[in-house]
Every structure is written in structure tokens, then in C-alpha cells.
């Protein structure tokens, strides 16, 4: 049977300007320009949005969407989704779903910084008329696993009822505030008559088996056009899980991910520099060491040993830095990263020996390359 997964992007707010720490301390916004760039890029590459309205039924019947399909969702129902987002969606011929908080119509996002304006009932109806799917997101944006089951039940049921009164049609989709759900919340959502519920990036990857905690991909203030292309790929959740387990998985990593929609860690544009600059600096340091004529650490035969251990350590560090950079910039398996780090370190060791053959009092030896490789091998063997 085909595994079903539709890439569903989660946006919150749109801003006219670039989000700054002052305007967007919770880091849930993207600028309208950035949003347009995301969509334009995806459209150019042949991607199309699909409506989530019939997604639950498709999942139950195992009817996948064509490849290059994705969905857009906006949580909370901010006014800027109507004023800034809708024109862009229309310009691109795309659709979206908005998960609104009907207890706070026309108010402010009190659960966050209380500064962002939410849509009024009238505004929400305008969105609905424009073909946007409206879903529920509780009445007052509560942490469902933290409130009593009575309150959770009421928050869920009333959000459906109020939205249906406002829109004059059935509301069948639900999104968990903060992406947080537990069994009781899920049961309440199911029992209230919703057809599906959306979580965030800690939910399982198979949509057809988990209709009441569908995985979505969170968009951050600095998600660039390259990252957006990654985020609409079928393999992206697998990559994300692999990365989470590799770097700070376990309890702490998981906790951060669960609360991520409102406290995301944005991918930095300086990331490539942070990954590769240490490699370059360390390689330059090795080059410098090799260019010192008659390099000796100790006056006697111990110097030989010190230098060999030095070789092991220095190349071990180079290999680890390479592995770190490759892990951060590729989707390769550890095996492949291991191999390439080793090969690149060995190649550099060869050029370094070649370099030393020109330095007075230094010489090129094959066994030094072997010692360097052994250092790399040992260092890589100690997996993180």
C-alpha cells in the first residue's frame, strides 16, 4: 500500500516588513515579500496547492494527490492573512486553510504577545468566500494537554460550533494550538465530529494512519526559497526526524520541537559559514604548521613521538570538522559522511605532505599520510 503524506506548510502571521525581534518575538511571521517569493518559486517549479477540505476523505480512500502537490495553512487567523496573504494567494492561483480562534474574533493574540490583530467574523467570511478553507483552533488558544478534560472538550466543541454559526457551513478540520495533543484531546476532536486534526513536526510521518494528528511543516521567519523547496518534498519529514535524533534528540530536543510553532529556532543564513569556516581555518592551521622549517617540539627523540601523536590529533579534528559540515549541509547517511570525511582528509594529508617536500628541514613521507588517515579514522569512529 502507498504511504500517504502531503506536504502541508504551517504559516502564522504575514508582515509588511521583515520580521524583527521587536515586532515578532515569538518568531512566527514571514514578510509578505518572502511569502510571495516562496510561492512564486514553487509555482515556477510546477508545484500546486490543493484544498485540505477533502483531504481526510482522500486519506481514507487512499487517493493520493498528484506529485508536486502541497497545502498551505495559517494558524490563529491573523488579520494580515486576509490583507496581505489573500492577494498573494490569488495572484498565484493558490489556496490555503486558516485555523481560527473564534473566542477571540477581532481581538488580539492574548496567548502570545497580545499585539497582533485577529480577524473579525466578517473578515473570516470574506476569506471563506474567496475559497479559503476555514478550520478550528480551539476557542481561546489553550494548551490542550495542560487543561482539564472538561475545558479541553469545551474549547474544541465550542470552536466548531461558533465557527459553523459564523460561516453557515460545516467546519470539519481542526489544528492543535502549539501542535500539542494527547489521547484525550484527540478523542475529543474525533468525538466532536471533526474529520481530521493537524499537529506540527513532531507528529508521525504517515498521514493515512494518523488522521487526528497530521504532520505539518513549520515555516520560520527566515525560511528562504531554497528551504521552502526542501520543505515540500516527500522525504523532508524523514530528514527532519533524522536530524532531530542526531542533534539533541531525546527529551530536551523533543520538548523544544513540541513547543516549536511559537518558539521556533530559525535556520540562520550564516549556517554555511558556521559549518565550513572551521574546516577552512583548521586546514589553514595545518598548512601553517607544515610551512615552519625544521619544526621541532622537543630537542630529543621524544620529538618523533610528539609529532606523530600531533599528526593523529590534528587530522582527527579535521575529519570531525568535515563530518560536521557535511552532516549540516547534506542529507547523506552517516556511512557516506564517514567515507567522504575520510577521503577528503586523506587527500588533504597527501597535499600537505607534498607541501612539506618543499619546506627546508621537512620531508614528505607515505607513513605520515597513513598516520593522518588513522587519526581521521579514529576520530570518525567516535560517533556523536
CB 80 within 8 A of CB 13: yes
Q: Which of 327, 139, 331, 156 is nearest to 233 (CA)?
A: 331
186 binds Zn ion (CB under 5 A): no
Mention every residue, 6+ apart, whose C-beta is less than 8 A from residue 48.
66, 68, 69, 70, 94
Q: Return the closest-CA partner of residue 216 out of 229, 232, 227.
A: 232
* Binding piece for Zn ion, criterion CB under 5 A, among 36-44, 174-182, 208-216, 305-313: 174-182
Q: Which of 144/376 has CB closer to Zn ion? A: 144
Window of 175-183, 235-243, 305-313, 319-327 that interacts with Zn ion by CB under 5 A: 175-183
Residue with cell 528562504: 224
103 touches Zn ion by CB under 5 A: no
- Least Cα distance to 177 among 227, 228, 103, 243 occurs for 103
CB of 178 to Zn ion, least distance (A): 6
| Cα–Cα distance list, 232 to 68, 163, 305 (Å) | 8, 29, 53
- Shortest Å distance, C-beta 173 to Zn ion: 14
CA angle 284, 337, 355 (to 5 degrees): 30
With CB atoms as reference, the residue minimizing the distance to Zn ion is 75
Of 12 and 231, which CB lies nearer to Zn ion in the complex structure? 12
Residues contacting 99, CB < 8 A, separation 6+? 73, 74, 75, 76, 77, 134, 135, 136, 137, 173, 174, 175, 198
Distance CA(28)–CA(30), nearest Å, equals 7
Q: How far is CA 203 from CA 95, 129, 176, 182, 377, in A?
A: 24, 31, 11, 11, 37
Min CB(202)–Zn ion separation in Å? 15
Segment near Zn ion (CB under 5 A); pick from 23-31, 72-80, 298-306, 318-326? 72-80
By CB under 5 A, name the one of 177, 221, 264, 375 that touches Zn ion.
177
Cα gap 171→97, rounded to integer Å: 11
How long a stretch of residues is the chain?
384
Specify the residue, 11 or 35, whose C-beta has the smaller distance to Zn ion: 11
Name 335's Cβ contacts closer than 8 Å, sequence gap at least 6: none
Nearer to Zn ion, 76 or 155 (CB): 76
Among the candidate windows 44-52, 67-75, 165-173, 364-372, which touches Zn ion by CB under 5 A? 67-75
Count residues near Zn ion (CB under 5 A).
Answer: 3
Give the number of other Cβ atoms within 10 Å of residue 318's Cβ.
Answer: 26
Nearer to Zn ion, 76 or 79 (CB): 76
Minimum Å gap between C-beta 64 and Zn ion is 28
Q: Which of 75, 201, 368, 372 is close enough to bind Zn ion by CB under 5 A?
A: 75
Q: Which residue stretch of 76-84, 113-121, 247-255, 358-366 sits at the interface with Zn ion (rule: CB under 5 A)?
A: 76-84
Q: Is 76 in the site for Zn ion (CB under 5 A)?
A: yes
- The interface mask with Zn ion, positions 24-63, x = CB under 5 A, is ----------------------------------------
CA distance 81 to 317: 48
In the bound complex, what is the minimum distance in angstroms from residue 77's beta carbon to Zn ion? 9
By the 10 Å C-beta count (0-12 exposed, 13-18 middle, 19+ buried), 360 is classed as exposed
Min dist. Cβ of residue 99 to Zn ion (A): 7
Nearest approach in angstroms of CB 141 to Zn ion is 6
Q: 49 or 73: whose CB is closer to Zn ion?
A: 73
Span of 118-126, 173-181, 220-228, 355-363 interacting with Zn ion by CB under 5 A: 173-181
Considering the complex, what minimum distance in angstroms separates the CB of residue 137 from Zn ion? 6
Nearer to Zn ion, 76 or 368 (CB): 76
Report, in Å, the least distance between residue 185 CB and Zn ion: 14
**What residues line the site for Zn ion (CB under 5 A)?**
75-76, 177
Amino acid at each position: 500500500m502507498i504511504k500517504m503524506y502531503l506536504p502541508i506548510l504551517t504559516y502564522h502571521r504575514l508582515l509588511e516588513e521583515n520580521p524583527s525581534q521587536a515586532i515578532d518575538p515569538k518568531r512566527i511571521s514571514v514578510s509578505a515579500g518572502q511569502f510571495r517569493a516562496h510561492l512564486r518559486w514553487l509555482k515556477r517549479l510546477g508545484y500546486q496547492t490543493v484544498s485540505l477540505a477533502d483531504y481526510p476523505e482522500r486519506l481514507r480512500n487512499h487517493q493520493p494527490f498528484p506529485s508536486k502537490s502541497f497545502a498551505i495553512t495559517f494558524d490563529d487567523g491573523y488579520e494580515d492573512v486576509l490583507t496581505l496573504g489573500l492577494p498573494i494567494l490569488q495572484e498565484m492561483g493558490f489556496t490555503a486553510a486558516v485555523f481560527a480562534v473564534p473566542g477571540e474574533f477581532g481581538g488580539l493574540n492574548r496567548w502570545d504577545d497580545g499585539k497582533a490583530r485577529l480577524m473579525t467574523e466578517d473578515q473570516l467570511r470574506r476569506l471563506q468566500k474567496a475559497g479559503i478553507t476555514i478550520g478550528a483552533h480551539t476557542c481561546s488558544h489553550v494548551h490542550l494537554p495542560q487543561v482539564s478534560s472538561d475545558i479541553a472538550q469545551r474549547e474544541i466543541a465550542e470552536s466548531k460550533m461558533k465557527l459553523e454559526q459564523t460561516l453557515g457551513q460545516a467546519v470539519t478540520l481542526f489544528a492543535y494550538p502549539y501542535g500539542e495533543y494527547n489521547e484525550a484531546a484527540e478523542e475529543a476532536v474525533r468525538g466532536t465530529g471533526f474529520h481530521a486534526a493537524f499537529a506540527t513536526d513532531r507528529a508521525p510521518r504517515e498521514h493515512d494512519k494518523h488522521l487526528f494528528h497530521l504532520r505539518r511543516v513549520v515555516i520560520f521567519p527566515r525560511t528562504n526559497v531554497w528551504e521552502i523547496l526542501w520543505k515540500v518534498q516527500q522525504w523532508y519529514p524523514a530528514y527532519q526526524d533524522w536530524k532531530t535524533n542526531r542533534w539533541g534528540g531525546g527529551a530536551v530536543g523533543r520538548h523544544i520541537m513540541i513547543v516549536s510553532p511559537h518558539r521556533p529556532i530559525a535556520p540562520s543564513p550564516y549556517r554555511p559559514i558556521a559549518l565550513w569556516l572551521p574546516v577552512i581555518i583548521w586546514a589553514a592551521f595545518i598548512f601553517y604548521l607544515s610551512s615552519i622549517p625544521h619544526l621541532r617540539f622537543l630537542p630529543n627523540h621524544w620529538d618523533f613521538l610528539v609529532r606523530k601523536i600531533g599528526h593523529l590529533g590534528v587530522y582527527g579534528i579535521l575529519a570531525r570538522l568535515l563530518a560536521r559540515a557535511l552532516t549540516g549541509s547534506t542529507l547523506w547517511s552517516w556511512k557516506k559522511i564517514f567515507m567522504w570525511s575520510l577521503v577528503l582528509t586523506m587527500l588533504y594529508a597527501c597535499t600537505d605532505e607534498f607541501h612539506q617536500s618543499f619546506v627546508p628541514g621537512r620531508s614528505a613521507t607515505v607513513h605520515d599520510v597513513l598516520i593522518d588517515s588513522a587519526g581521521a579514522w579514529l576520530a570518525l569512529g567516535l560517533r556523536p
